[in-house]
Amino acid sequence: MTGSIQPQVSRPPSRKLARAGIRDVAAAAGVSITTVSDALNGKGRLPEATRRHVREVADRLGYRPSAAARALRTGRSGLIGLTVTTYGEEPFTFTEFAYFAEMARAATSAALARGYALVILPATSRHDVWSNVALDGTVVIDPAEGDPVVSEIVRQGIPVVSDGRPGGSLPVTAWVDNDHQAAVMDLLDHLADAGARRIGLLTGTSTDTYTRLSTTAYLTWCERVGQDPVYEAYPAHDPRAGAVAADRLLARPDRPDAVYGLFDPNGTDLLAATRRYGLRVPDDLMLVCCSESPGYASTDPPITTLSLKPRRIGTAVVQLLIDAIEGVDAGRPIEQVIPTDLIVRASSQRRPPRAVVSAPRRPA
């Protein structure tokens, strides 16, 4: 048996990339280690420009504070939660909706920038499920009025910031929301200006403030313009119920000639219902829905959507929550209102009537 001798190839020793430390950030930013610590942890009385400069340098160097060291030093886990409690034990997978996905992405980035990790918690009405995770604080999306989960978490001394104005006297630490009443009034005026004479609403049956304030705004607008309300309500966590409600709305004897749907799937539900009833959009029925989905730009026709700016909200709720966890007064108001944006597309722009032009007559 003939053996072969393999040539020995010398390999350079592998170099493990050194992780940037707080001293590296201080040197690159031209500040002290204490200034870096205060800037990244939201502490101290630093100028905002200095905080921003230090955070930009830390991001450029890829610096991340040691979670283990921070936990030993502060007694905090570095984990914050994000969940929806409104729908209790219903199988509501909120991350599948475009609003929640956008909001969660922004919240995750904002948490990492402050040295925290975001934990997505399942929708549940049982606060004991959360005891399995050592959370420093929690963001709750659209809590229902008198939400028992939120009340219990606050009772345990855990800060809670809500995405959505809390109903009743729910004891949250801070909240961030949109002006839903103004947004609904504006889009109803938009539909009326486009020629709608009977505007309908698809709404929900839950008690969260988004649903309640939006529905109240619709009823107030109807009273203001002298229109009888035309609306259908359904459990928003059930997508099949939304399609049935859209069908019910268009089957009414007082069928509307424009509809606003409060929830993401309402646009496609209503578009499908119009085809079953042989209605043309926007000629016979104009449509608007509240959604962050880019897919509505390519439906036939493209559907007008109301954007609630979830990225801005996700960033704001995390900043407020971490400030509360760390006992920092960053000068931010604990109640923040984020503006909305009506993205007008063909579904709410009724075409002007065509002028009929007779063919020229032949001379006799």
The answer on 185 and 294 residing in a single domain is: yes
Cα–Cα–Cα angle for 338, 340, 345, rounded to 5 degrees: 165
Please tell me the predicted confidence (pLDDT) of residue 126. 59
Domain boundary among 33, 63, 93: 63
- pLDDT over 60 at 13, yes or no: no
Q: How confident is the model at residue 228 (pLDDT cuts 50, 70, 90)?
A: very high
Please tell me the predicted confidence (pLDDT) of residue 4. 40
The answer on 317 and 273 residing in a single domain is: no
Lowest mean pLDDT among 36-45, 170-179, 259-268, 307-316: 36-45
Residue 359 lies in a domain: no
The answer on 130 and 224 residing in a single domain is: no
348, 285 Cβ separation under 8 angstroms: no
Residue 132 lies in a domain: yes
Q: How confident is the model at residue 358 (pLDDT cuts 50, 70, 90)?
A: very low
Q: How far apart are CA 47 and CA 30, in angstroms?
A: 15
H-helix or E-strand containing 52?
helix 48-61
The answer on 132 and 190 residing in a single domain is: no
Residue range 273-292, pLDDT digits in tens: 999 999 999 999 999 999 99
Q: How confident is the model at residue 89 (pLDDT cuts 50, 70, 90)?
A: low
242 or 134: which leads in pLDDT: 242
Residue 123 lies in a domain: yes
DSSP code of residue 45: S
Please tell me the predicted confidence (pLDDT) of residue 272. 96
Q: How confident is the model at residue 218 (pLDDT cuts 50, 70, 90)?
A: very high
Cα–Cα–Cα angle for 294, 312, 131, rounded to 5 degrees: 105
The answer on 154 and 110 residing in a single domain is: yes
Half-sphere exposure of 74 (CA within 13 A, CB side): 17
Mean pLDDT of 320-346: 89
Q: How far apart are CA 65 and CA 343, in angstroms?
A: 40
Residue 246 lies in a domain: yes
The answer on 332 and 264 residing in a single domain is: no
Q: How confident is the model at residue 305 (pLDDT cuts 50, 70, 90)?
A: very high
Lowest mean pLDDT among 104-118, 218-232, 307-321: 104-118
Most confident segment among 47-56, 87-96, 223-232: 223-232
Mean pLDDT of 320-333: 83
The answer on 185 and 109 residing in a single domain is: no
Residue 327 lies in a domain: yes
Q: Domain count for the chain, please give it.
A: 3
Residue 89 lies in a domain: yes
The answer on 167 and 201 residing in a single domain is: no
Mean pLDDT of 122-127: 61
The answer on 211 and 296 residing in a single domain is: yes
Residue range 258-273, pLDDT digits in tens: 999 999 999 999 999 9
73 or 326: which leads in pLDDT: 326
Q: How confident is the model at residue 14 (pLDDT cuts 50, 70, 90)?
A: very low
Mean pLDDT of 29-52: 83
The answer on 133 and 187 residing in a single domain is: no
- pLDDT over 80 at 78, yes or no: yes
Q: State the pTM of this model.
A: 0.75
Residue range 150-177, pLDDT digits in tens: 888 888 888 999 999 987 778 889 999 9
Mean pLDDT of 72-86: 74
State the residue range of the domain holding 330.
79-176+311-337
Q: How far apart are CA 207 and CA 185, in angstroms?
A: 20
Q: How confident is the model at residue 203 (pLDDT cuts 50, 70, 90)?
A: very high
Mean pLDDT of 67-81: 66
DSSP code of residue 284: T
Mean pLDDT computed over every residue of the chain:
84
Locate the DSSP E strands across 87-216.
Answer: 117-120, 137-141, 160-163, 174-178, 199-204
Please tell me the predicted confidence (pLDDT) of residue 252. 95
Residue 169 lies in a domain: yes
Sign, CA dihedral 125-128-132-136, equals positive
**Both structure tokens of 278:** 């042989």
What's the CATH number where 199 sits?
Answer: 3.40.50.2300
Please tell me the predicted confidence (pLDDT) of residue 75. 61
Residue 126 lies in a domain: yes
- pLDDT over 60 at 361, yes or no: no
Most confident segment among 26-40, 64-78, 198-212: 198-212
Domain boundary among 8, 32, 63: 63
Torsion angle, alpha carbons of 224, 186, 312, 150, to 10: 20
- pLDDT over 60 at 71, yes or no: no
The answer on 303 and 215 residing in a single domain is: yes
Paired residues of 174 in beta bridges: 161
The answer on 239 and 119 residing in a single domain is: no
- pLDDT over 70 at 7, yes or no: no
- pLDDT over 90 at 348, yes or no: yes
